[in-house]
Amino acid sequence: MHLFVQVVTVALAIAPAAAIGRVTRRGSPSPPAPTSSYTYGTAIGGALDMPTPTTPPDVNRAKGLDAAELTVHIINSYGTPLKISYNSNEGSPTILGNPGADVIAQATDVVVPRDFAGAILVGETWNPGNSKIEVSFVSNQGYRPGLDVSYVDGFSVPLVCSCSGVPVTGCNINLFTQGHQCPDQGWGPCYNPARSRPDGPADPFFQQCQGAAYTFPGDIGPNAYGKCDAGDIQCCIGVFCPAPSIQHGKRSLDWIEGNKTSLTPTLHE
């Protein structure tokens, strides 16, 4: 099932992968005209791999912050301001409030209403291949939060999400610094060639995060459904974020302290 039919973004309309260029914003050159739709991969068993909701969204509930029952608090530890945009499944209500005014400098809160299923995209540029926080809060899951970090479409920045202070999904490794060549470099993210391969394997560029963040559709280890029932989710961007126990080769804080120079972010294009 391909997702994200309805696009809710504070940045711009998303161009297809084959047509990504520098976005028309703050004097940047215009991107090429879109020629086809961007085909997203689906993280099998993840927050957005679900049947169509059995009840329609309650529009009245989505009009104000008093209707919200789930908050995603995002902390930017990446070292530079980042772009944020949002996708949602067809029929989902929109997220609530003003989550970040399209740039995350230090932190922002994304408030999720009932019957929402969608993704928060974060990266150095606006791009459909950015790293994603996938969230669902729907009736046919009993309004238990669904959560995962997905690099199925691509990798832009390291993401880790926690529930009640415990990291449960994501990978704090900057894949651009690991010595593997990106197989399909976009303006910002590295596109994932395994997004159309349900059973993988993970591309070598993505392999170090396999099992912690979705690196191909069937990479089900990152699915954190049922682990966030307190209704408060904290997500961290960057290599200084705590790693979940499911991440292979977790880096110690001593290692990070000794490698700060090599971990300084740069724009990938």
Write down the pLDDT at residue 226: 86
pLDDT > 70 in the chain, percent:
65
Model confidence band, residue 269 (pLDDT cutoffs 50, 70, 90): very low
Average pLDDT over residues 28-39: 37
* Residue 26: pLDDT over 60: no
List pLDDT tens digits, range 142-160.
889 999 999 999 999 999 9
Rounded CA separation 122/23 (Å)? 15
> Averaging pLDDT over each range in 16-20, 234-238, 264-268, which range is the top one?
234-238
Rounded CA separation 188/17 (Å)? 12
Q: Which residues pair with 148 in a beta bridge?
A: 134
Written as six digits, the tokens of 215 are: 């690196």
Write down the pLDDT at residue 92: 87
List pLDDT tens digits, range 42-90.
666 555 554 333 233 333 333 333 334 788 999 999 999 999 988 888 8
Write down the pLDDT at residue 67: 39
Q: Dihedral through CA 77, CA 81, CA 82, CA 86, nearest 10?
A: 100
- Show the 3-state SS of the chain: CCCCCEECCCCCCCCCHHHCCCCCCCCCCCCCCCCCCCCCCCCCCCCCCCCCCCCCCCHHHHHCHHHEEEEEEEEECCCCCEEEEEEECCCCCCCECCCCCCEECCEEEEEEECCEEEEEEEECCCCCCCEEEEEEECHHHCCCCEEEEECCCEECCCEEEEECCEEEEEECCCHHHCCCCCCCECCCCEECHHHHCCCCCCCCCCHHHECCEECCCCCCCCCCCCCCCCCEEEEEECCCCCCCCCCCCCCCHHHHHHCCCCCCCCCCC
* Residue 6: pLDDT over 70: no
List pLDDT tens digits, range 244-253.
998 976 544 4
List pLDDT tens digits, range 180-235.
999 999 999 999 999 999 999 999 999 999 999 999 999 988 889 888 887 779 99
Write down the pLDDT at residue 231: 75
* Residue 23: pLDDT over 50: no
